[in-house]
Chains A and B, each alone.
Chain A
């Protein structure tokens, strides 16, 4: 009889839409937030910590040269407007993606660099994920190394953060997994031999040993989206920028590590 009662009860729970385990994932409390760095082996940590061995530093050096190079029909360099990046770019990457009034929406750091090229240098956009844009982005972001992430508080930006959060929580792809399933609920575990980290955006662009190159946050997001066998988004797609925004809000207060090294 007990079994029958249990069956009836579970049918009722299901009918009422009540399930026996919470479906809503829990976000990581600020006190437990951990950089991807803390999951790495001592060797990989040492490689990131020492500027002479950190392969991402090459991007910083090349980015500095590009910062000073004149270009476009305006024949201006970044430095002509912004002068010393060590001063003018300090803290900038810590609050990106940021609100662009003209576009009425968020732009990430790569997009801001290309907007400056279009608006102030009258130059063509640099292609995503190619060397020049990665190097310039890395150079700009490195000026905020060690500074806490402080998301852009513009009220108009908040609906975009919310969209990014919805995306993060939404199951997708043939494997039917959401970002939150791994990065909120299972970050102390392993997928095959890779540590499932908290999915923090605080080191980008990174030098990833697996890629043997520098790569952007969007490249990493596209890898995870491919992993769950979902349709991908193009570089620069609004959805990826919204995810970036949510990831940065989720990482509020964490120090920026650019150029980080990841396995």
Chain B
């Protein structure tokens, strides 16, 4: 169910298994496999917590609502650089949502949506953030669980 504005070029990534770089702390980014335009398996092996996910999405420090709006009546300052997140759980499967958060640039190389679980291919990252993904695997799973509940 691709939106027409977003060229989904998913097929070519079928089952590409990634070898991911080591993080600064010695901890590794969890490896994942991409099937079509989705990451089917949970990054943590567990289901996320939707309530925690909602808190993460509306927290400006995690940047989502700088660009997106959504069903967050308590927040007056939502951006309009990106699609409204309402109903996003109808538009995409859990696995598709996961890949869109992990690395949206695989689906649309020109996208402005940051890759939230990636540390390679970035330039001049500030020291405080270098070698770290924007969100942890657990945070990604929590947000995915929350987004999946957003049904019109």
Task: Tell me if A196 and B123 are in contact (CB < 8 A).
Answer: no
Chain B residues positioned under 8 Å from A196 (CB to CB): 81
Instruction: Say if the beta carbon of A231 comes within 8 Å of chain B.
Output: yes
- Give the shortest distance, in Å, between B38 (CB) and chain A (any CB): 14
Cα–Cα distance between A197 and B40 once the two chains are bound (Å) = 39
Q: Report the nearest A residue to B114, measured CB to CB.
A: A175
Task: Tell me if A175 and B63 are in contact (CB < 8 A).
Answer: yes
- Give the shortest distance, in Å, between B105 (CB) and chain A (any CB): 8
Q: Report the nearest A residue to B129, measured CB to CB.
A: A174
Q: Report the nearest A residue to B115, measured CB to CB.
A: A176
Q: What's the interface size class on B, roughly?
A: 20 to 34
Knowing A23-B109, A193-B76 are in contact, say whether A10-B12 is a contact too (CB < 8 A): yes
- Give the shortest distance, in Å, between A263 (CB) and chain B (any CB): 13
Task: Tell me if A229 and B126 are in contact (CB < 8 A).
Answer: yes
Task: Tell me if B109 and A171 are in contact (CB < 8 A).
Answer: no
Task: Tell me if B122 and A231 are in contact (CB < 8 A).
Answer: no
Cα–Cα distance between A173 and B63 once the two chains are bound (Å) = 14
Cα–Cα distance between A23 and B111 once the two chains are bound (Å) = 9
Pick from B9, B76, B109 the residue with the most CB of A within 10 Å.
Answer: B9
Knowing A172-B123, A173-B122, A190-B81 are in contact, say whether A23-B12 is a contact too (CB < 8 A): no
Task: Tell me if A174 and B81 are in contact (CB < 8 A).
Answer: no
Knowing A196-B81, A230-B124 are in contact, say whether A22-B110 is a contact too (CB < 8 A): yes
Task: Tell me if B125 and A231 are in contact (CB < 8 A).
Answer: yes
Interface bits B26-47 vs A (CB < 8 Å: 1, else 0):
0000000000000000000000
Knowing A23-B109, A196-B81 are in contact, say whether A232-B126 is a contact too (CB < 8 A): yes
Chain A residues positioned under 8 Å from B67 (CB to CB): 191
Task: Tell me if A231 and B9 are in contact (CB < 8 A).
Answer: no
Instruction: Say if the beta carbon of B3 comes within 8 Å of chain A.
Output: no
- Among listed A13-21, A81-89, A102-110, interface-contacting one: A13-21
Knowing A176-B122, A192-B60, A193-B77 are in contact, say whether A186-B9 is a contact too (CB < 8 A): no
Residue in B60, B108, B112, B122 whose beta carbon sits within 8 Å of that of A181 in the complex: B112
Task: Tell me if A192 and B65 are in contact (CB < 8 A).
Answer: yes
Instruction: Say if the beta carbon of A157 comes within 8 Å of chain B.
Output: no
Chain B residues positioned under 8 Å from A223 (CB to CB): none
Chain A residues positioned under 8 Å from B63 (CB to CB): 175
Knowing A7-B11, A21-B110, A231-B124 are in contact, say whether A190-B79 is a contact too (CB < 8 A): yes
Instruction: Say if the beta carbon of A237 comes within 8 Å of chain B.
Output: no
Cα–Cα distance between A22 and B111 once the two chains are bound (Å) = 10
Instruction: Say if the beta carbon of A226 comes within 8 Å of chain B.
Output: yes
Interface bits A1-41 vs B (CB < 8 Å: 1, else 0):
00100110011011000011111000000000000000000
Chain A residues positioned under 8 Å from B78 (CB to CB): 192-193
Instruction: Say if the beta carbon of B7 comes within 8 Å of chain A.
Output: yes
Q: Which residues of A contact B (CB under 8 A)?
A: 3, 6-7, 10-11, 13-14, 19-23, 170-177, 181-182, 185-186, 189-193, 196, 226, 229-232
Q: 7 shortest A-B CB distances, which residue pairs?
A: A7-B11, A20-B7, A11-B12, A193-B77, A174-B129, A192-B77, A10-B9
14 CB contacts below 8 A, A to B, read A7-B11, A7-B12, A19-B109, A19-B110, A21-B7, A21-B109, A172-B123, A174-B122, A182-B81, A189-B81, A192-B78, A192-B79, A196-B81, A231-B124
